[in-house]
Every structure is written in C-alpha cells, then in structure tokens.
C-alpha cells in the first residue's frame, strides 16, 4: 500500500521523481542505486595531446589533469581521452589555428577549458576562456596554471547585452548550465556578470581569429553581441547548434548579412557548405558547426585530416585508472 502511494506521488510530481533519480544516481547498486562506481573527490590523469606526424608543433605531449571528481567533462576525458571527445571538431579547430590570420583564440562557454588548453598547447596565439560557473572557472584556471599554459580565464557569461543575469545550474550535468531558463531540469540559480563579445574585445584590445561557442542554446545571443567583431575581424567560428529551439533560424538571420558560410562538422572532409543550418543533420554526439568568413581552402581540410589522424591515438594508456586524490589536494 505505502509503496503504491509513493509510486503515485512520483508519477504526479516530476520534481519529486527527478530528486529520487538524482539520489539513486549517487548511491551504489547494493543500496538500490544506479551508480556503478563511487565518484572520486578529485579526478587525476594524464590527457594525451595530438601531435602531427611531421612533429612540427612544439608544446607538451600531455596535460596533467587534476579536477573536481564530480565534473562531467574531466570524467569524459578520463574515460576516453581526446579521441572520444568531439574529435571531428577538434581536428578542424586545430586546422583553423594553423590557417587563420593573426589574432586571439576565444573559448566561449569553456567549462574546464579543453579547447582553450589545447589551443595554448599547440599554438602561440593569445588564448581566453569564458566560464560563468565559479567553481568550474576555478578548475579551468587551475588546469592552465598547473600545466603552465597561458590561458586567461574570465569568470563571466557572454551574451547580447552587458550587465547581470540569472544563470541556471542544471541538475542533469554541469556541462548543461545555461543562461536559458528551462533548458534543463534546474538544480539552482546564481547571478553572473554578462558582457557582449564586441564590448569585451573593444575594452581589452583583443582581435579574435578563432572563436568556439558552446553556451547551451544561447549561441545566437553570443553571435548577436559579437556582430561588430565578426564584421571587422572575420574570425573562424566553431559553434554548437542544438535542434528544435529556434537556434538555427536566428543564427542564419545573423550570419547571412555578414557573408559567413556554415559547415556541419563530421567525419566527412571537406565539410561542404550547407544551404541551411539544421541541428537535426548531425547526430547526438556531434552538434558543432563551422561558420567560415571565407571559403575554406583545401589546405585547411588537409590539415584537419592530419589532426584527425593524430587525435585517433589520444586514448587512455594501457592499465589507465583514475587516481582519486584527497579532498585537500589542489593543483597549482
């Protein structure tokens, strides 16, 4: 009788059902939970970095990762390395670093800063990462300092206006935190500083050459606040496109007057220009698009193929295991 009443309660109240699911996700299976392994307080591992076959790039062979154990992105990298994390996009991103005119790299919606760290390890451009969640921005800053990489981490959100805004923390994953209310089930909110990319670049004197944007459905707002920068500096833009939320239409409206072309990134190289931006084209594991200020040259795709081959070997080594550190152990 009691069990049936509890089940009825959970069916009627999605918030209660979500809370139970979150609790079960943290409990071991022996206690009717869903977690197969305990979450380490710190996640420590070496992340292998790609290097071209001709050995023409300086920089480290790997990054020493020491990050909070509950964060999604370090867990993903710990399990599969860079070979298992958006390798098609990373390959084109690295090729764009080789090809783009002089200028900075901007990682907007950086999380712990994988794109920013990789750029700093494989090029000599100024690198800036933008992450509004305080403890995640702190982890990105720690990783850059521990690996002696010149990444400047700005603890702010990028959007279509300047000021303060409510930032929603997702109960699904810390990688789904967003300025878009209701994008994912909510675990909390915090007030964050927001700035447009055009204003930030003007204030800091930064000229961007390559920009990566992953802000969980607010990418059109980022582009809207960066129109002046895109018109004047013509950076190459790597942008996540999630379907079904009006993102595609707004992006096309903003990019058409700027004469950018859009290319859905995947295993096919060269990636052909598309007539429309449609997030449904790509699979659930690949939502990144390239917005190109000019027709991508053949050399860019050649470099992308070379980087893709290099990334295929960036997997955890034999006998790799996560080495949890004590709660007080902190990088840097």
Q: Is the pLDDT of residue 91 over 70?
A: yes
Span 285-307, pLDDT tens digits? 568 999 999 999 999 999 999 99
Task: Tell me the two tokens of residue 297.
Answer: 């040259």
pLDDT at residue 183, rounded to an integer: 83
pTM over 0.75: yes
CA distances 185 to 25, 68, 131, Å, are: 15, 22, 20
**CATH classification (class only), 42-311:** alpha beta
Q: Is the pLDDT of residue 177 over 70?
A: yes
How many Å apart are CA 270 and CA 300, to the nearest integer? 9
pLDDT at residue 56, rounded to an integer: 63
pLDDT at residue 57, rounded to an integer: 67
Q: Say how many C-beta atoms besides its own lie within 10 A of residue 309's C-beta.
A: 13
232: left (phi over 0), alpha (psi -120 to 50) or beta: alpha
Task: Tell me the two tokens of residue 234.
Answer: 């013509």
Domain residue spans of the chain: 1-38, 42-311
Strand partners, 193: 164
Span 114-162, pLDDT tens digits? 999 999 999 999 999 999 999 999 999 999 999 999 999 999 999 999 9
Averaged pLDDT score across all residues of the chain: 87
- Cβ contact 69:39 at 8 Å: yes
Phi, psi of 307 (to 5 degrees): -70, -35
How many Å apart are CA 239 and CA 96, to the nearest integer? 13
């Amino acid at each position: 009788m009691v069990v049936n009443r509890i089940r009825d309660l959970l069916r009627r109240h999605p918030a209660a059902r979500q809370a139970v699911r979150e609790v079960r996700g943290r409990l071991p299976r022996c206690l009717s939970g869903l977690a197969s392994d305990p979450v380490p307080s710190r996640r420590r591992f070496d992340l292998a970095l790609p290097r071209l076959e001709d050995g023409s790039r300086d920089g480290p062979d790997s990054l020493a990762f020491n990050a909070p154990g509950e964060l999604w992105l370090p867990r993903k990298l710990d399990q599969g390395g860079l070979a298992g994390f958006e390798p098609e996009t990373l390959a084109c991103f690295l090729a764009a670093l080789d090809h783009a005119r002089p200028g900075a790299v901007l990682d907007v919606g950086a999380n712990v800063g994988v794109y920013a760290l990789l750029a700093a390890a494989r090029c000599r451009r100024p690198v800036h990462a933008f992450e509004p969640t305080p403890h995640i921005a702190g982890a990105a800053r720690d990783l850059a300092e521990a690996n002696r990489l010149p990444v400047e981490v700005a603890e702010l959100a990028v959007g279509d206006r300047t000021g303060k805004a409510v930032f929603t923390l997702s109960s699904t994953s810390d990688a789904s935190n967003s300025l878009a209310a209701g994008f994912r089930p909510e675990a909390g909110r915090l007030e964050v500083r927001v700035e447009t990319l055009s204003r930030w670049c003007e204030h800091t004197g930064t000229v961007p050459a390559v920009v990566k944007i992953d802000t969980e459905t607010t990418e059109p707002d980022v582009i809207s606040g960066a129109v002046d920068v895109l018109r004047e500096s013509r950076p190459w833009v790597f942008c996540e496109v999630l379907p079904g939320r009006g993102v595609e239409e707004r992006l096309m409206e903003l990019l058409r007057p700027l004469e950018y072309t859009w290319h859905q990134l995947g295993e096919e190289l060269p990636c052909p220009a598309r007539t429309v931006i449609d997030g449904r084209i790509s699979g659930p594991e690949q939502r990144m698009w390239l917005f190109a200020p000019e027709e991508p040259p053949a050399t860019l795709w050649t470099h992308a193929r070379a980087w893709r081959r290099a990334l295929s070997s960036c997997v955890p080594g034999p006998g790799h295991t996560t080495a949890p550190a004590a709660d007080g152990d902190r990088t840097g």
